[in-house]
Chain A
Amino acid sequence: MKHRHTGENNWKLSVREIALFGVLGGLTFAAKLVMSGLPNIEPVSLMVMLFAVTFGKKCVYPTSVYVAMEILVFGINIWNVYYLYVWLILALAAYLMRKNQEPLAWAILSGMFGLVFGALCGITDIFIMGFGVAVAKWVSGIMFDVVHCVANFVIALLLFKPLRDLMQKLYNRI
């Protein structure tokens, strides 16, 4: 589907995009809070993938708004560092496979991201806590990664395609 905001090589934002990305970042944060009672079942992975396929490089903006809100609300901690790159890694992966239309492929990407989430965070832990502690921390959290994987897989399988079409349609209107 073609849209007016090619955005591929353009980092400049229109006023409408500034408003849109701010709202989407805030909505992502709000959706995560709503689901925060469910351990490692979250809407952020889905949203980041949607941002990447819809906004191209500009997905960095709503993603950054979301991360900034997390840090502003929950404060400074080690996970701030994780969040500076984990979501961008997912966004990059989604951007690279943006032409893919298969819901199963997106479910696999989202599931794989959930599965390696702990390992990605472990990269920072190696520098802060040392290799042994980082590995122990990763291993102890594997079951959370498994839940993250299954939840991400199901959410993306069910919602990615309809929301992608909807977001693309809405983005074309502004």
Chain B
Amino acid sequence: MNSKKTWIALGALVVVLAVMVAVFVLQQPQAQQGSKEITITVVHADGTEKVFTCRTDAEYLDEVLLAEGIIPEGNIVDGMFSIVDGETASWEADMAYWAFFVGEEYAVKGICDTYVEDGASYKLVYETSTYWGE
């Protein structure tokens, strides 16, 4: 038969155990938001704009676009993509494409080569070509 002191000691052990687990849990680093905040604007075929503001640690923009679901997984092939925010730009059908801007400047690199910079804004605009040929 265990004495009263033993039961009290068992209670103390459980209390210390619970306190330590609580300390451990409270000291765990919180899920960190990304260190860079960027804005991505999508301009659809009908002219409507949708703005995505996101925090990220990603190095290149394609990672953010995929992570945010702006471009669906598997749609980027060799830096080329056709679906943005659920809308498909088909070159074959409509001579349509997604124009990519960094700020207000037409990008000189593709999304896979564009380094994500804190505070930057990017734009993907549905455009159609009126010129095709020689």
Interface residues of A (CB under 8 A from B): 102, 104-105, 108, 111-112, 115-116, 139, 142-143, 145-146, 149, 153
Minimal beta-carbon separation of B18 from chain A (angstroms): 10
Given contacts A108-B10, A139-B24, A142-B23, contact A115 B2 (CB under 8 A): no
When the two chains form their complex, are residues A142 and B20 in contact, meaning their CB atoms are under 8 A apart? yes
Interface residues of B in 3-56 (CB under 8 A from A): 3, 5-6, 9-10, 12-13, 16-17, 20-21, 23-24, 27
When the two chains form their complex, are residues B24 and A143 in contact, meaning their CB atoms are under 8 A apart? yes
When the two chains form their complex, are residues B3 and A112 in contact, meaning their CB atoms are under 8 A apart? no
Interface residues of B (CB under 8 A from A): 2-3, 5-6, 9-10, 12-13, 16-17, 20-21, 23-24, 27
The residue on A at minimum CB distance from B16 is A115
When the two chains form their complex, are residues B17 and A146 in contact, meaning their CB atoms are under 8 A apart? yes
15 pairs of residues in contact across A and B, judged by CB atoms under 8 Å: A102-B2, A102-B3, A104-B2, A104-B6, A105-B2, A105-B3, A105-B9, A108-B6, A112-B12, A139-B23, A142-B21, A142-B23, A142-B24, A146-B24, A149-B13
Number of A-B contacts (CB under 8 A): 42
When the two chains form their complex, are residues A102 and B27 in contact, meaning their CB atoms are under 8 A apart? no
A44→B37 CA distance, assembly (Å):
53
**Chain A residues within an 8 Å CB radius of B12:** 112
When the two chains form their complex, are residues B27 and A108 in contact, meaning their CB atoms are under 8 A apart? no
A142→B21 CA distance, assembly (Å):
7
Pick the contact of B13 from A102, A112, A143 — CB < 8 Å? A112
**Chain A residues within an 8 Å CB radius of B24:** 139, 142-143, 146
A23→B2 CA distance, assembly (Å):
34
Minimal beta-carbon separation of B17 from chain A (angstroms): 6
10 closest A-B pairs by CB: A142-B24, A105-B6, A108-B9, A139-B27, A104-B2, A142-B20, A102-B2, A108-B13, A104-B6, A112-B13
A120→B23 CA distance, assembly (Å):
17
